[in-house]
């Protein structure tokens, strides 16, 4: 399922917190859970829902749409 979030120029955009999350050295930083999630081989890993979200052509897919970053 497409989550309505996408990545462009190192930032994550979507319905909530658009542009306030960014990717640096493979880690996701921002106002929530900053640095606790990382991207590896186009999958997003972390303490919750690890490996259930993936990235394809800059779009983020997963089992649910309310992602920032991951509740």
Q: What DSSP designation does 47 have?
A: S
Distance CA 48, CA 7 (A): 20
Distance CA 57, CA 43 (A): 12
Q: For residue 39, what are the β-bridge partners?
A: 44
pLDDT tens digit sequence for 6-61:
999 999 999 989 999 999 999 999 999 999 999 999 999 999 888 999 999 999 99
Cα 54-58-62 angle, rounded to 5 deg: 25
Residues in the chain: 71
For position 52, what pLDDT does the model report? Answer: 92
The CA–CA distances, whole Å, from 70 to 22, 56 equal 14, 18
For position 23, what pLDDT does the model report? Answer: 97
Of residues 70 and 62, more confidently modeled: 62
């Amino acid at each position: 399922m497409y989550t309505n979030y996408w990545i462009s120029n190192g930032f994550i955009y979507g319905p909530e917190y658009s542009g306030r999350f960014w990717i640096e050295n493979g880690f996701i930083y921002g106002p929530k859970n900053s640095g606790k999630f990382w991207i590896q081989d186009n999958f997003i890993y972390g303490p919750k829902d690890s490996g259930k979200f993936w990235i394809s052509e800059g779009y983020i897919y997963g089992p649910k749409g309310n992602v920032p970053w991951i509740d």
